[in-house]
Structure 1
Amino acid sequence: MRAGNIRQFASLSQFENVKEFNEHKRYFLEHHAGLFTKSEFLAFELLSRYSVVVPGVANAKIDTLVERSVETGGSISRASFLRMMRKAKNAGIIVVHKTYRTSGGFAHNVFVFQRFDPAIETKVIQRKGRETPCESKDEHTKKTHESINLFINLKDKDLKIRKENVMTDNLPYLSLGDLDESFTPDSVPKDFIRTVRPFFNTAIEIYTFWEKAKLAYNKFNFDRPLEFMVSVVVDAFKTTVFHYKNRKIKATFMQYFYGTLKGMFIVERRREHMAKVQRYNWIDEPEN
């Protein structure tokens, strides 16, 4: 599919108007209450707002949508948007089409919302529950042996699992990407967390940036520990944000941050070296 203006994809729309689109979206959210986390729901709503020129169809790059969310105060991370898309596609409410430039190469995505009928979905679920696949005698025998072997292999493990479940049964299911910045390990400085949080608000994203900073730090033989150079890391992140907003970054955000930080660390290493150099004192030179 070739890239182009949003009206070029009008034929993909399944709705007569925006009102009908909103109704089907509401049906879906009511029928799938709890599917999205708070940040994923904000991402879903953001994509919906960009799907009204052609009802139910949006053409945009994910990075552009994430950037717009920051500008409007929504602060949706790329990871949250991707998680939302994965859940929405699995639930059948969104289909994604890729587009390509005339000169070659991937361009923007086209997100197409699907019609949602709760009655039909309920029937499909019930039908799946009633289906009982037929098995041949050989298949039944094979599965019986496999079940016996599986029981023997897992017998000892089951006790361990039950003990672990005593501790975790009351915890809600959360993936690593669902944890907000308050879950960031204490090894990450607070100043760095406060700087990154407005742009990347999950614990794993903030932690990954700090790990990248440690990787850059380890390239140099500094006398100072990294904890005494947090201001340098913060400056590198702010510089990266500035150039990203100014559309000067050709690589990924993380790659640019790493390269910027390495450049700043080179300057800091030179300063340390010059501070240790003992210049010759010509004034106090002894007379012959």
Structure 2
Amino acid sequence: MDSFLSKALEVLSFTEKERKALWLIAGHSCKVAGVSWLKVQTIADALEVSYKTAQRVLSSLKGKGIIKRVRTLREVSGGFGASLTLICPVDLSYREEALKPATEKAETANKKKETFFLKAFQKDIKDIRQQEELDYTYLTEFVPQDFIETAKPFVSAQEVYTLWGKAQAVARKYAPDVLEVTEPAIRAFKASVLAYKMRRIKGSFGGYFWGALSGVFSVEQRKKNSTLLSFNWLEE
């Protein structure tokens, strides 16, 4: 990551604030390579600039394709939380071609090659800007793979994250002694999908899923309580 940043700073044009912000983000991306949880206000304080200036700096870096801002979702409430900043390594070869010395004939060839790479690079950046939804690979650190595979044919990656947050919240509330959350959550999701397909859901799918989770985890907690009571009786 450091080698990419050094190379990017060498061949791309950045303001002093953008350079400082990029190194700041990289310096706080150690836990997960290329992923920073720094808030905009924290970046503003570190750069000694206003909040709006920090936003403009991040927007400029995003426009250059160097970073990407991704909104997170709160596990309990399901609402949007702070945004993550992802450092996105990009192809810098078209810039490197422009830096190589060449004869007049070779320079013409390089210009054609540079134009080709530039068009391809701009197309890639355009695709990134237009990508409105995350793919499911972003979820692997936060959501069990079995739940992802069950839910992804029906909902987006962000919705999977929200639904899993609901499952964890309901499990903590109704089944605090139950350790295995994934399998009951999958059963509740399948029951909710079936109800949706049968047109039995009058309100929102998320609301119905919450109710299904409450029922499933309440049963799991009762099973757990029965097991604990049985052990206590045997001990007496």
**TM-score, with structure 2 as normaliser:** 0.46
Max Rg structure: 1
Question: If each structure's helix is expressed as a fraction of its own residues, which one has the higher value?
Answer: 2
